[in-house]
Structure formats: C-alpha cells, structure tokens
C-alpha cells in the first residue's frame, strides 16, 4: 500500500514546525497524539533541533497505515489551530497554506479536524481508529480549548461541550450502553452517572449534599 501522505507534504509540515513552533510545542503536539519518539541512527543526520525532533516522531510512523497517519494528523491539527488563532497575520497565512497543501494531498479540513478518507478501509480499522482517537484526541482538544479561551470564548465553550459529549458516549459504549437514545448533553451525562452509580437513584437529598425541602420538614 502506498503512503497516505506524500513525502513533500511531510517535509513541508516539518519545515512549518521549524519556522513557527518551539521545541515544547512540537513535543506536546506529537506526544499528545500518541506518537512515539525514536532517536535517529548515527548515519541519519538532520540539521537543527526542531527539525530533528519532528523527524524523531516521524520515524515511528508507518505512512501507509491509516491508524498511524491519523495520529500525525492529530498533531498537525494542534499546529494549525495554534497558527490560525495567532495575532500575527504571517502565522494565520501559514495555517491556510498548510490546509491548502493537505487538501491537495487528498485530506479534508472541517475547520477543526483533518479528515482522512481511505478507500476500502474496513469496519475493523474504523473501530480501532475510533477507540484510539477517543483517547489521544482528548488531549489535543483540551489544548485547543485552552488556546481559544482568550481569543474565541464561543469556540472554547462549543469545543468543551463536544469533548464532554464524546467522553460520555465513549463511556457508554465501553459499558455496552446505548447512547443514541440520548440526544441532549444533560441526558447523556445523567445516563453516564446512572451507569457508573455516581448518583444512585433513591439516595436522599441530605446524602447528596442538598438541604432538605420544606415539604420534607413537614412545613
């Protein structure tokens, strides 16, 4: 199977990190996406600390594997988001350049996520991907929320709601509970609480930390 992301695009993203990120940001993006950092061999020379760091994370990637590539995309999403909310026009223009480059490589960007469509990808692959992304994507989403708190509060609130909803659905799925019947977020949260016995039905108000009502006092 051929590579899902072209070498030219990978190099371009690597250079974008070199020009627009610091070492700590590179580490966070790739580590939070679940990628392993592997030291380069002595005969594999790459100049510069940031370029070398990206290359060390790239080394653990099978570029023909949708599972691996989606981890890389999660890291790139964080980079794109950080650029797109930056005060400098140069950074925002770089975010658009990257999105255009990835689109030309066959990916789709929905304003928040990079979507990889793989012809013939089996159901088992999609299930495995969903389990993985539920774990690794949480950290990337939290990073986006933190970055948007000051610049776009509405986005931060909406992303937080989506994160809670995704976590609730993942918990219910793990417990073999139906999440489709709960269309509203409060219903989802209540369903999770019931399934985990966090707020058992029938527990008195006093034990829940709520003061007794006037009716219960005989008023």
Q: pLDDT tens across 44-84, in order?
A: 888 999 999 999 999 999 999 988 999 999 999 999 999 99
Query: What token pair was written down for 171?
Result: 């918990």
Distance from C-alpha of 51 to C-alpha of 11, rounded to nearest angstrom: 10
Q: How much is the pLDDT for 183?
A: 72
Identify which of 181, 151, 185, 149 has the alpha carbon closest to the alpha carbon of residue 166. Answer: 185
Q: Which helix (H) or strand (E) holds 108?
A: strand 108-109
Distance from C-alpha of 16 to C-alpha of 24, rounded to nearest angstrom: 15
Residues 95-151 have pLDDT tens digits of: 999 999 999 999 999 888 899 887 655 444 444 444 444 555 666 677 777 777 778
Query: What token pair was written down for 47?
Result: 């100049």
Residues 126-138 have pLDDT tens digits of: 444 444 445 556 6
CB neighbours (10 Å) of residue 214?
Answer: 8
- Please give the full DSSP string across 152-174, using - where no structure is assigned: -HHHHHHHHHHHHHHHHHHHHHH
pTM of the predicted model as reported, rounded to 2 decimal places: 0.58
- Percentage of the chain modeled with pLDDT above 90: 43
| Domain map (residue ranges) of the chain | 7-119
* DSSP classification of residue 43: T
């Amino acid at each position: 199977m051929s590579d899902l992301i072209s070498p030219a695009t990978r190099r371009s993203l690597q250079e974008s990190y070199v020009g627009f990120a610091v070492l700590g940001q590179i580490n966070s993006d790739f580590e939070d996406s679940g990628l392993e950092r592997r030291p380069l061999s002595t005969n594999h020379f790459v100049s510069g600390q940031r370029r070398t760091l990206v290359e060390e994370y790239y080394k653990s990637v099978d570029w023909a594997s949708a599972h691996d590539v989606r981890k890389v995309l999660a890291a790139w999403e964080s980079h794109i988001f950080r650029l797109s909310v930056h005060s400098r026009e140069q950074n925002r223009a770089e975010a658009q350049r990257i999105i255009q480059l990835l689109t030309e490589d066959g990916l789709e960007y929905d304003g928040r996520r990079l979507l990889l469509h793989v012809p013939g990808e089996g159901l088992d692959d999609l299930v495995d991907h969903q389990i993985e992304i539920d774990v690794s994507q949480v950290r990337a989403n939290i990073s986006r929320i933190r970055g948007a708190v000051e610049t776009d509060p509405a986005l931060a609130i909406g992303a937080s709601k989506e994160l809670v909803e995704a976590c609730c659905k993942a918990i219910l799925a793990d417990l073999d509970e139906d999440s489709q019947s709960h269309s509203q977020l409060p219903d989802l949260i209540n369903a999770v609480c019931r399934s985990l016995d966090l707020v058992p039905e029938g527990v008195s108000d006093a034990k829940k930390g709520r003061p007794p009502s006037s009716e219960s006092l005989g008023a």
